[in-house]
């Protein structure tokens, strides 16, 4: 197996099983050397906790990047998750150009919206800036809400295959290359992932779990990136990540005390085994 090195740029929620506290262990379990660039440090994530602390690290990011450049440090891939501001998006675009190694891959999870709504911290100006990053990336991993934001298309809770087809065509017309569209389901019992590449489109369907869990988007994206960097195809990586995420939710759903995330760590052996198949 070729040894690969990746940089992931997103926040650290110290407690809450999301963002970097999910990305680092999952990518490491995939056998990928993982460097991190925290965009912010929070005491907990913001969904359900109150009184959390937050320190924005935007002003530290340029100096960190400059140090890496002086040391000649480059990466095989850069994977972004939650970015807190338009300024951070601009810095990431600079990293794509100045920190890329040979056969470089840029992967963007445009984490900014869900269930038809933007996250409270964001506005249309942020969406417009995210468009410039997403359509520059080699791979994007939006959910349906985020895809609608990127295309200015009306969000629909109930939709058909024609709607998803139109959404994917609009993303591609705007410059998207490989699209991993998550949360695509046409009935109450199943959901899935649409993998849309320039010459190929495949759909992976899996069981739907009624109860959602915070951080599953980060679990999915990190598992996808780890599998893809291990040499799996986009569809294989999307399938492995979907099954892993479902198993993580199933491992957590009956534990009411664990409302703040998913117990992804005990399921890592399954993920590693799937990568080795």
The helix/strand/coil state of 39 is strand
Rounded average pLDDT over 39-52? 92
Rounded average pLDDT over 12-23? 96
Other residues' Cβ atoms within 10 Å of the Cβ of residue 60: 13
d(CA 132, CA 123): 15
The reported pLDDT for the residue numbered 213 is: 78
Q: Tens digit of pLDDT for each residue in 85-96?
A: 999 999 999 999
Q: Considering its fold, how many domains does the chain have in total?
A: 1
Q: Which two tokens stand for residue 187?
A: 């009935």
The reported pLDDT for the residue numbered 1 is: 72
Rounded average pLDDT over 113-118? 94
The reported pLDDT for the residue numbered 58 is: 97
pTM of the predicted protein model: 0.96
Distances from the Cα of 203 to the Cαs of 31, 127, 129, 180, in angstroms?
27, 27, 29, 10
Q: Which two tokens stand for residue 44?
A: 């907990």
Whole domain around residue 237: which residue ranges? 5-276
The structure tokens 């992932």 sit at: 193
H-type alpha helices, the chain: 20-29, 61-70, 86-98, 124-134, 144-151, 161-173, 216-229, 234-250, 268-276
Rounded average pLDDT over 73-79? 98
The reported pLDDT for the residue numbered 24 is: 98
Any bridge partners for residue 100, and if so which? 75
d(CA 32, CA 27): 6
The reported pLDDT for the residue numbered 242 is: 97
Q: What is the CATH number of the domain that holds 22?
A: 3.40.1190.20
DSSP-assigned letters across all residues of 124-170: HHHHHHHHHHHTTSSEE--BHHHHHHHHTPPP-SS--HHHHHHHHHH
Longest dimension (CA), the chain: 53
Which percentage of the chain shows pLDDT scores above 90? 93
The reported pLDDT for the residue numbered 212 is: 72
Q: Tens digit of pLDDT for each residue in 197-248?
A: 998 999 999 988 877 778 899 999 999 999 999 999 999 999 999 999 999 9
Phi and psi for 205 in degrees, rounded to 5? -105, 140
Q: 170 falls in which pLDDT band (50, 70, 90)?
A: very high
Rounded average pLDDT over 117-126? 92
d(CA 87, CA 2): 34
The reported pLDDT for the residue numbered 260 is: 93
d(CA 55, CA 11): 10
């Amino acid at each position: 197996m070729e040894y690969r090195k990746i940089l992931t740029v997103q926040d650290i929620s110290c407690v809450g099983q999301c963002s970097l506290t999910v990305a680092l262990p999952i990518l490491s379990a995939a056998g990928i050397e993982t460097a991190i660039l925290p965009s912010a440090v929070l005491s907990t994530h913001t969904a359900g906790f109150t009184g959390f602390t937050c320190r924005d690290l935007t002003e530290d990011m340029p100096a960190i990047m400059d140090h890496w450049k002086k040391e000649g440090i480059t990466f095989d891939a850069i994977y972004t998750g939650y970015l807190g501001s338009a300024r951070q998006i601009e810095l990431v675009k600079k990293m794509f150009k100045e920190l890329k190694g040979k056969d470089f891959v840029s992967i963007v999870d445009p984490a900014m919206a869900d269930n038809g709504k933007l996250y409270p911290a964001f506005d249309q100006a942020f969406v417009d800036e995210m468009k410039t990053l997403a359509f520059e990336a080699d791979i994007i991993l939006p959910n349906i809400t985020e895809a609608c934001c990127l295309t200015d298309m009306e969000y629909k809770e109930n939709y058909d295959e024609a709607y998803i087809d139109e959404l994917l065509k609009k993303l591609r017309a705007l410059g998207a290359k490989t699209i991993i569209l998550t949360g695509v389901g046409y009935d109450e019992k199943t959901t899935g992932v649409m993998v849309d590449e320039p010459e190929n489109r495949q759909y992976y369907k899996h069981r739907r779990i009624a109860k959602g869990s915070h951080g599953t988007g980060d679990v999915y994206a990190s598992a996808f990136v780890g599998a893809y960097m291990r040499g799996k195809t986009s569809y294989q990586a999307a399938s492995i990540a979907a099954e892993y995420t479902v198993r993580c939710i199933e491992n957590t759903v009956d534990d009411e005390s664990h409302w703040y995330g998913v117990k992804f760590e005990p399921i890592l052996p399954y993920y590693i085994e799937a990568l080795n198949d």
